[in-house]
Amino acid sequence: MTAIISYRTNTQKIPLGFKRVLSPEILKDICVRITGQTDYVIEEQTDSYNKGRLLTVQYNGITNYVSLSETKIDGRNSSLQSVPTALNVFYSDSNPNKQLWYYFLPYTGNPFTEYHLVYYRLMETAGIKFLNINNYYSLPILPYGSVDELIKERSDNQSSNRSNNSSFVSKTADRIQLYAKTYGANKYESTVFGVALSKIADRPIDVFAVSEQDLTNLPASSLRTFDTLGNLSVYTTSLKLNRTISEGDESLRLRSAAYNYNLLNRIGMKKCAICGCEIPEIIQGAHIWGVSEIRNFESINDEQKYAHAISGHNGIWLCQNHHKLFDSAFLAFDIEGRCLVRRGIPHEHEEFIQGSIVNNHLSTSILSDDFKFYLSQRNQEIDLHSYIAV
């Protein structure tokens, strides 16, 4: 049986670009790896619809979508921007007899940085199989077995390279959250994150499309893919909005999403600043200058109030217990970040609270000038003389 290989001859920027890159040797290699035999014919497509770096191999009633790497890899996304397009084309095909692959073309550069390896695991989790990675990389690429595993590796990767902070994954007791930028190259990886999460999620997923500039949502093709998967709900939020900070359900949801995104971006993944707990379901963003105080502050306008309410400098991660103790003024912080316990409470309560404190001083990375401003606003409402340092 003869395979049919179809592809657009033109790349997005270079006329006949694919025709030049896809040599008979490469096409034969792709054919053999997918079909187990060498016979193929080529169908050159001339349509102008951008399908990224994608070709198809029709064989034995199965459509095989093959996403191709770049041949020159300069940055972290340069070999991967076609992958989301391939995913979206794949999911737009209602034929159940299909498979999705990734093929490394001969390249210059390094496609095996820590970032790339995390991305390849996401691709495996999303259902993309690698045709020839063994030619270039000796270790196996394994899919993520759980959302917790994905969060942990993503957190480690982002901690070692802050430039990777574009998409974040977190959890609450009943939902999974994907905070996804809608602009630049970051919108591409958001699609792969969403599809991968849908495969391993044990609860519904909220996708918060974090908009900036003029791009207010993820690409329409990605939204259609998420709709097909069925367990993702997409919400559009903003890092910068001219709006009030009312407590309506939708307003609160979007304000909280922007706030959590900014905390993740500034101080990293969820970890209680006081006890070090890292169970994401019970870690919350704790405002330093409270939203109700911001709302009642008359000398600033609504846009400024919203900016303060979602600022990543206006908060820390706290577990539910320490968040409640902080909001109830049993705990406080002085301007140097020292943890304080209120005097005059029952001795057994003081002992319990002090025993729960692992970190008696906030990390210096948290203590920005803006953070200290918010802390001074909060501390105007309490008497620090009635507290004792831990």
Q: What pLDDT was estimated at residue 132?
A: 96
CB 366 within 8 Å of CB 272: no
Residue with tokens 């502050």: 297
Q: Provide the whole-model pTM.
A: 0.86
pLDDT in tens, 85-138: 999 999 999 999 999 999 999 988 899 988 899 999 999 999 999 999 999 999
Which residues does 29 contact at the CB level (< 8 Å), separation at least 6? 132
Question: C-alpha 144: how far from its chain's center?
Answer: 15
Tell me the pLDDT of the chain averaged across its residues.
Answer: 88
Which sequence spans correspond to the domains of the chain?
3-135, 144-238, 277-390
pLDDT band at 242 (very low <50, low <70, confident <90, very high): very low
Which has more confidence, 203 or 19?
203
Tokens representing residue 287 in the block: 């405002």
User: What is the CATH T-level fold of the domain 3-135, as seen in this structure?
Assistant: Trna Endonuclease; Chain: A, domain 1 (3.40.1350)
- How far is it, in rounded angstroms, from Cα 249 to Cα 274? 30
Q: Cβ–Cβ contacts within 10 Å for residue 296, how many?
A: 9
pLDDT in tens, 162-208: 555 578 999 999 999 999 877 766 677 889 999 999 999 999 999 98
Please provide the DSSP assignment of 277-316 as one string: ---GGGEEEEESS-HHHHHT-TTS-HHHHHHHHH-TTSEE
Which has more confidence, 377 or 108?
377
Which residues does 224 contact at the CB level (< 8 Å), separation at least 6? 88, 91, 92
